[in-house]
C-alpha cells in the first residue's frame, strides 16, 4: 500500500536573531491511507510543526514531503491546489479560528465558493447543511445562521471540523482538536472523528500531548511518540501501549493513571534521572533523552544518535530509536 503522506528526512529549524532552533530533526514518517495515526509527545517536541509541514502550511528546512508518492515541492498549478485542498488542519482553539462577525453559513460557504465547489447560494446552503449534519450539528437549520458566540465550545469545535471538511480532504490533521473542550464533549468529538474515517474515507493524523487519549481512541491505528524533534517510537497502538519499548514511552505510560485505582497503586512508576528537559538550542550529544533516561548506557547513548529500527526478538511491531535496544545491549535500570 502506497503511503498517502510521507516525510523523508524532514528537518525544520527556526531562526531567532542569530540563534538557530532545530525544531524537527531528520523525521521519517509514512501515513497510510485511511489510518488513524496519533502523534504524541510533551509540549514543544515539534507536534504542531510536524502537522503544519504535513498539511503544507510550512516548508521543511531540508528533506522531502511526499503526497501520494509525489514530492510536494515539485507540484504546480492544479496539482498543487489539489494537494493543498486534500490536506486540512483543525487547529486547537475554535475561539481564535472562527471569525466572531461571520455566521456559520458565511464561515463554511467561503471556502466552497473560493474553491468553486458550489455555483450559487442555494447550492452553498445545501452543502453547508450537509456539512453541519456530518459533524452532528443537527438540525442544521438551527445552527446555520448563528454566530460563533451563540454556540457552545463543543459546537464551535464541530464547526471548525466542518470547515476542514468543506474541501473534501483526504487527510485531516487534528492538532489538539479536542483539548479545549470538556471531557464529556471530547469523547463525542473523538468518536465523530473516528467515524469520519469510515464514512467519508479520510485519513486522520491526531496530534495530542496526552498519551491517555491515544490509548483509548487510536486502538486500531498507530502511535508515533516524539521527543525533542524526533520520533522515538512508532508502531501499532496496542503494541506501543501494551508493550512499550523505548524508555521514554515506558516513562510516559508509567505516569498515566489507570481506571482501576488498585492498578494505579501497583503500577511501577519509573523515575527519571533528571526532570529537566534540555533546550532545543542546547541539545545533548547522542540520544537527546540520555540525560533523563533511567536505562542510560554511558559511552553509547551519549555518543551516537539512534535511528529508528526494530528491536531484535521483540514481539512488538514498533520501530524504536534506542541504540542499546536495537543493538541488543543489556539494559540496567539506574536507581536515583
Ligand atoms: N515560528 C517559530 N519561531 C521560533 N520557534 C518556534 C516557531 N514555531 C515553533 N517554535 C518552537 O519550536 C518548538 C516546537 O514547537 P511546536 O509548536 O511544534 O511544539 P508542540 O509539540 O506542538 O508543543 P505543544 O504541545 O505545546 O503544542 C517549540 O520550542 C517552539 O517554541
Ligand atoms: Mg502544538
Q: 93: which 3 cell numbers?
A: 482553539
User: In which band, very low, low, confident or very high, does the pLDDT at 259 lie, cut at 50, 70 and 90?
Assistant: low
pLDDT of residue 264: 62
For residue 109, being part of any structural domain is answered with yes
Mean pLDDT of 221-232: 96
Clarify whether residues 192 and 251 are in a common domain. no
The model's pLDDT over 270-297, given as tens digits with 9 standing for 90+, comes to 788 888 899 999 999 999 999 999 999 9
User: Based on the structure, what is the number of domains in the chain?
Assistant: 2
In a domain, 235, yes or no: no
Assess if residue 335 is contained within a domain. Answer: no
Long-range contacts, stretch 140-146, CB < 8 angstroms, 24+ apart: 143/104, 144/103, 144/104, 144/105, 145/103, 145/104, 145/105, 146/103, 146/104
Residue 258 lies in a domain: yes
Question: Per-residue confidence at 245, pLDDT binned at 50, 70, 90?
Answer: very high
Among 164, 195, 227, the domain-final residue is 227
* Beta-bridge mates of residue 204: 36, 172
pLDDT by residue (tens digit) across 33-69? 999 999 999 999 999 999 999 999 999 999 999 999 9
Give the separation between CA 227 and CA 249, rounded to whole angstroms. 10
CATH code at 133? 3.40.50.300
pTM for the complete prediction? 0.92
- Tell me, yes or no, whether 236 lies in a domain: no
Return the pLDDT at 171.
Answer: 96
**Residue 120 structural domain:** 5-227
- Do 220 and 260 share a domain, yes or no? no
**Joined grid coordinates for residue 46:** 515539534
Q: Which atom of ligand 1 is found nearest the CA of 41?
A: 21
pLDDT band at 240 (very low <50, low <70, confident <90, very high): very high
pLDDT at 92 over 80: no
Q: How confident is the model at residue 94 (pLDDT cuts 50, 70, 90)?
A: low
CA 238 to chain CA centroid, Å, is 17
Q: Are residues 316 and 250 in the same domain?
A: yes
Looking at the structure, do residues 288 and 159 belong to the same domain, yes or no? no
How high does pLDDT run on average in the chain?
90
Domain ends where: 227, 257, 279?
227
Give the domain-ending residue among 227, 257, 291.
227
Same domain, 180 and 280: no
Q: Which residue do the cell numbers 534521572 mark?
A: 273
Lowest mean pLDDT among 202-211, 274-283, 314-323, 326-335: 326-335
Q: Which of 77-81, 233-237, 329-333 has the highest mean pLDDT?
A: 233-237
What pLDDT shows up at residue 286? 96
CA 50 to centroid of ligand 1, rounded, Å: 10
Residue 278's pLDDT is: 92
Residue 187 has pLDDT above 80, yes or no: yes
Whether residue 251 is contained in a domain is answered as yes
Specify the higher pLDDT residue, 267 or 145: 145
Max alpha carbon distance in the chain (Å)? Answer: 69
Q: Which ligand is nearest to the CA of 61?
A: 1
Distance between CA atoms of residues 288 and 296, nearest Å: 11
Q: Per residue in 50-59, pLDDT tens?
A: 999 999 999 9
Decide if 331 is inside a domain: no
Tell me: do 177 and 286 sit in the same domain. no
Please tell me whether residues 175 and 296 are part of one structural domain. Answer: no
**Ligand 1 close to Cβ of residue 23 (< 6 A):** yes
Give the distance (Å) from ligand 2 centre to CA of residue 54. 13
49 CB under 6 A from ligand 1?
yes
Q: Is the CB of 46 under 6 A from ligand 1?
A: yes
Q: What are phi and psi of 207, to 5 degrees?
A: -100, 125
For 1, 106, 159, 263, the CA distances from 99, given in Å and listed in that order, are 40, 10, 11, 46
Q: Is 15 in the pocket of ligand 1 (CB under 6 A)?
A: no
140 and 274 housed in the same domain: no
165 and 211 part of one domain: yes
Whether 79 shows a pLDDT value over 80: the answer reads yes
Residues 218 and 250 in one domain: no
Cell numbers at 287, concatenated? 540520544
Q: Is the CB of 47 under 6 A from ligand 1?
A: yes
Bigger pLDDT: 210 or 323? Answer: 323
Q: Which three cell numbers stand for residue 218?
A: 487510536
Reported as a pLDDT band with limits 50, 70 and 90, residue 250 is very high
Q: Is the CB of 91 under 6 A from ligand 1?
A: no
Task: Name 38's bridge partners.
Answer: 206, 223
Whether residue 336 is predicted with pLDDT greater than 60 in this model: the reply is no
332 assigned to some structural domain: no
Task: Based on the fold, state whether residues 264 and 319 are members of the same structural domain.
Answer: yes
DSSP class of 146: -
Mean pLDDT of 132-161: 92
Same domain, 145 and 11: yes
Residue where the block lists cell 520501530 = 319
Amino acid at each position: 500500500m502506497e503511503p498517502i503522506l510521507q516525510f523523508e528526512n524532514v528537518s525544520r529549524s527556526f531562526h531567532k536573531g542569530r540563534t538557530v532552533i532545530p525544531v524537527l530533526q531528520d523525521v521519517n514518517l509514512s501515513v497510510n491511507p485511511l489510518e488513524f495515526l496519533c502523534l504524541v509527545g510533551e509540549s514543544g517536541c515539534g507536534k504542531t510543526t510536524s502537522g503544519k509541514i504535513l498539511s503544507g502550511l510550512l516548508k521543511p528546512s531540508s528533506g522531502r514531503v511526499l503526497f501520494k508518492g509525489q514530492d510536494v515541492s515539485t507540484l504546480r498549478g492544479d496539482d498543487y491546489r489539489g494537494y493543498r485542498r486534500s490536506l486540512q488542519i483543525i487547529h486547537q482553539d475554535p475561539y481564535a479560528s472562527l471569525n466572531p462577525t461571520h455566521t456559520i453559513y458565511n464561515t463554511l460557504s467561503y471556502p466552497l465558493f473560493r474553491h468553486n465547489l458550489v455555483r450559487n447560494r442555494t447550492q452553498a446552503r445545501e452543502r453547508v447543511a450537509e456539512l453541519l449534519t456530518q459533524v452532528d450539528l443537527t438540525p442544521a437549520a438551527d445552527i446555520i445562521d448563528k454566530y460563533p458566540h451563540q454556540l457552545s465550545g463543543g459546537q464551535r469545535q464541530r464547526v471548525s471540523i466542518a470547515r476542514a471538511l468543506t474541501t473534501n480532504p483526504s487527510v485531516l490533521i487534528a492538532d489538539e482538536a479536542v483539548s479545549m473542550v470538556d471531557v464529556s464533549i471530547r469523547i463525542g468529538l473523538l468518536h465523530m472523528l473516528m467515524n469520519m474515517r469510515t464514512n467519508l474515507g479520510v485519513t486522520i493524523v491526531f496530534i495530542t500531548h496526552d498519551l491517555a487519549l491515544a490509548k483509548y481512541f487510536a486502538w486500531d491505528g498507530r502511535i508515533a511518540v516524539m521527543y525533542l524533534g524526533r520520533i522515538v517510537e512508532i508502531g501499532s497502538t496496542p503494541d506501543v501501549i501494551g508493550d512499550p519499548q523505548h524508555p521514554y514511552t515506558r516513562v510516559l505510560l508509567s505516569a498515566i493513571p489507570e481506571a482501576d485505582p488498585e492498578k494505579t497503586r501497583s503500577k511501577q512508576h519509573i523515575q527519571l534521572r533528571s526532570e529537566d528537559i534540555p533546550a532545543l538550542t542546547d541539545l545533548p550529544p547522542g540520544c537527546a533523552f540520555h540525560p533523563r533516561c533511567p536505562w542510560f548506557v554511558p559511552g553509547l547513548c551519549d555518543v551516537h544518535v539512534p535511528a529508528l529500527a526494530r528491536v531484535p526478538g521483540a514481539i512488538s511491531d514498533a520501530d524504536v530509536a534506542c541504540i542499546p535496544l536495537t543493538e541488543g545491549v543489556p539494559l540496567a535500570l539506574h536507581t536515583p
